[in-house]
Amino acid sequence: MNESLISPFNFSHPTAVQTSLYALGSFARFDPSGRFVGVGRFDGLATIWDLETKAAVRWLDGHVKAVTSLDWSRHSRYVLTSSKDWNVIVWDLASLRSIREIALLNTGEVYLVDLRPNHRSRTELYEPDGDEDGTEGQSSRRYAMTVARFDPSGKYVFVGTSGGYILVFNTRTKAMIARHRIAGGAGTIKGMDFAKNGRRLVTNSSDRTLRQFIVPHYPRSSETGGEIFIEQELEPTHRFNDPINKTAWHAVSYSPDGEWLAGGAADAANHKIYIWDISNDGQFASTLDGGREPLAHLHWHPSKASIASTTNQGNILIWHSPNAERWGAFAGGFEEVDENVEYEEREDEFDIEDEAEILRRKKEAEQDDVDIDTIDGETTDARGHPALNGVHASNGSGGHGIGIGGNFDEDMKWADEDADDDLGVWKMKILMDDDDITPKQFSKDRKLVNLFSRGDRVAIGASGGKDSTVLAYVLKTLNERYDYGLHLFLLSIDEGITGYRDDSLETVKRNQQQYDMPLKILSYDELYGWTMDRIVSQIGKKNNCTFCGVFRRQALDRGAAMLNVDHIVTGHNADDIAETVLMNIMRGDIARLGRCTSIVTQGEDTIKRSKPFKYAYEKEIVMYAYFKKLDYFSTECIYSPDAYRGHARTFLKDLEAARPSAIIDIIHSGEAFEVREEIKATQKVQRTCKRCGYMSSNDLCKACTLLEGLERGMASSGITDRARKKLDAEGPSPENLRTIPFYQPPFCWSLCDKKPMRMAGLVIRF
């Protein structure tokens, strides 16, 4: 949806899942711009996801154990990660490398580390002893520090302890300036979050209660000398809990305007997010249900009604608030109506205006003076951040040494001295062009499989459509750039569909010239003696995809055998895979359901086949082909809409409209299916067809069965063994029917002299 069409006054809390990211993460945090999400993973990796392309754009590999926390710098250039391996790493996203590594060997302690080049230091923040006069009620016991957060201004560090205390430290002086005891006791403080203005604080405690406080005003260090600290009991303004289920909380987060509070429930069976309306005296607003995968973490978007919640299975759910488009924001004279009305035009509305009059008004407008010196109100920089007179605003009250009321504040100015390169004009470079993809980034964490070996002869199933054209372009580009040593061929199957395949083959022939690849075209008529036009005229349009799919699969193998290739790659995308999963579920086809989501399939007598675009959405491939200006054929098969797959495609699009992540979710569900051993034992053993030699689990393969039905004039998709015996007795005999030539598997190349090459499923990046 165009953001300019959304009313800014309709800000609410999220209500529905917009999309999901299969990120294998334990938590996720938005960056300050809200476009990127940083994800910490159980395997020690940290990844940066772009929410516009739904793809990972950075892979930060430096930890050896699970990542425990992640935070962003002010302008998103630097990312800090910590891990259970006792290391803290600061990453520079501009150079894709770590710039600092900090080793910590203790627990329950807080260190403030200054990373400025000329001020590098590491200072432990500690709680001083009680007053020397032994003030009554003051305990000298020190509790372990369990959580630490900067306030939005960066002037203070708030630390929660296992005893329920909140300690406040001055960032510049490193001295403790306040110690707060929570009224009534709270137990161990597990987490905290600030409202964007820094005036409100919410804590998550071990007593299963969220508490909101008004943050007190602390005197400047210059006024106190930094030698005394405030002892004050904090009384919560609101308490939030689940009085019925007594649910604990994994995470808590404020909305950007501070009017909503989200709490992630520690429910072992459900993914629950509770929303409270702070502006309405903290009233409970709603519960968001994210399914059966329990919640592990959540974080609210810095400027929108959006939440990123993480499941215990590693999926990231992006929640949003569906809004009606406000077209009046796009065109001031646009009038929105709820029903059709008859438009009454003005008398002169569509009159042709005098060109001389238009030219005269244009010249008068050009003569007017334009004020280029005055800056009106708040502007934004290239990343959309608010800027004040060309200077980027800081995340809290005041900025760049200017405090509330315009007074100089040394507690804020010191951090801008000897500043780093995290400037407001910096913009993260997205991996858009092929030049930005290196072999390491290309294959990182992509369900790695050894797809190719050096010297492999690879046949690309080329139909002339967008998928096969993009596949041929990407394979050729990477093969030449990184010297994979592959011998690439184009293999096309002519099904004999007038007005569709004959036109698309012309595109394939042009691609042959453009990519300089050998081309082999094998037709149904040549192989089976039938064309799809003849088949449809006999059986109708209902089951024509069954015939075409079976014949095409065997034709690809036979064409590849003629080319003597080692590998066939096809352009099946994520939409195609999801459709196949749905069709196999509805047909109850367990055997095909177990293998339809595999990237690589291969039998003993068949050529290795793979689907590199398994995780690439159809729309992504279309966009890539469009922006690369590739020559492809875009007309849909004329028999597809009436076929079973056409109905499955329509159903899938309806699912995607209701849940945008439906396609990838269906694929992951298909991957998770496991066939029990007792079911596998009942399935037929794979062997070869007695008539044509192609692989089959029966005496005759599916292609021979379908072809025999066509030859006998049967308008059905197959013949049973009992019916075949009866037909054989009536004639004609099978010897008088057309059959498929006997299949000869290709020569098995020895891999002893080939260098294995690790590549992943191709992923298009924008």
* pLDDT tens column, 550-600: 898 889 988 998 999 989 999 999 999 999 898 888 877 777 776 787 888
pTM greater than the 0.75 cutoff:
no
What residue type is 75 in one-letter code? H
Residue 723, pLDDT score: 59
Residue 348, pLDDT score: 72
Residue 684, pLDDT score: 72
Residue 664, pLDDT score: 83
Segments making up each domain of the chain, as ranges: 11-105+250-322, 109-128+143-241, 457-681, 684-747
**Would the CA dihedral through 605, 611, 614, 617 be positive or negative?**
negative
Asked if 158 contacts 149 with a C-beta cutoff of 8 angstroms, the reply is yes
Name, in order, each residue with C-beta under 8 angstroms of 51's C-beta and a sequence gap of 6 or more.
Answer: 34, 35, 36, 37, 318
Same CATH topology for 109-128+143-241 and 457-681: the answer is: no
Asked if 539 contacts 715 with a C-beta cutoff of 8 angstroms, the reply is yes
Spans of the chain below 50 pLDDT = 1, 4-5, 132-139, 377-402, 404-405, 431-449, 717, 748-766
Asked if 174 contacts 182 with a C-beta cutoff of 8 angstroms, the reply is no
Residue 101, pLDDT score: 74
Q: According to the CATH classification, is domain 109-128+143-241 in 3.40.50.1820? A: no
Tokens at residue 241, please? 């809990």
Name, in order, each residue with C-beta under 8 angstroms of 336's C-beta and a sequence gap of 6 or more.
Answer: 326, 327, 328
Give the rounded distance of the alpha carbon of 686 from its chain centre: 38
CATH code linked to domain 11-105+250-322: 2.130.10.10
What residue type is 169 in one-letter code? F
Residue 360, pLDDT score: 83
Residue 415, pLDDT score: 63
The three-class DSSP label of residue 335 is coil
Closest listed residue to residue 249, CA positions, set 212, 305, 297: 297
- Secondary structure of 315-327 in HEC code, one letter for each residue: EEEEEECCCCCCH
DSSP 201-270: EEEEETTS-EEEEEPPP---HHHHTTS--EEEEEPPSEEE--TTT---EEEEEE-TTSSEEEEEE--SS-
- Secondary structure of 68-102 in HEC code, one letter for each residue: EEEEECCCCCEEEEEECCCEEEEEECCCCEEEEEE
Q: According to the CATH classification, is domain 457-681 in 3.40.50.620? A: yes
Distance CA 508, CA 493 (A): 11
